[in-house]
Amino acid sequence: MFSMKKNFIGFVYCCVILLLSNCATLIGEKAKDDALKAANTKAQKMGLKVGSACKYLGFIGDNSEQKATANGSIKIKLFSVKNVGGIIKSCTYVYGKDKLF
């Protein structure tokens, strides 16, 4: 009887830990998305173009800087950001100008 209670408590404990870690992951993803939106808004206000390229599920698509630069028609890259935290989607964002002046 005691062993069964101990196993049940262990199971509940594992479920709670799993639930909390999933919530923390979702909160982290939301924070990253919000930060990216804010960065894109600031870049566009400064007159910078934003290009992005994503890879899905680790093998579909291309998240290279070259693809992101082409997608944003960017000739002069000022900086780029790689989002490598996602399991399903990983993206590269490039910020820059389409011409020198």
Tell me the pLDDT band of 16, cut-offs 50, 70 and 90: very low
Q: Find the domain containing 61 and state its range.
A: 2-97
Most trustworthy range by pLDDT among 26-30, 33-37, 78-82:
78-82
Burial of 38 from C-beta contacts in 10 A (0-12 / 13-18 / 19+): exposed
pTM (two decimals): 0.61
Question: CB-based contacts of 61: which residues, under 8 Å, 6+ apart?
Answer: 53, 54, 55
**Whole-angstrom distance, CA of residue 31 vs CA of residue 66:** 27
Q: How many domains does the chain divide into?
A: 1
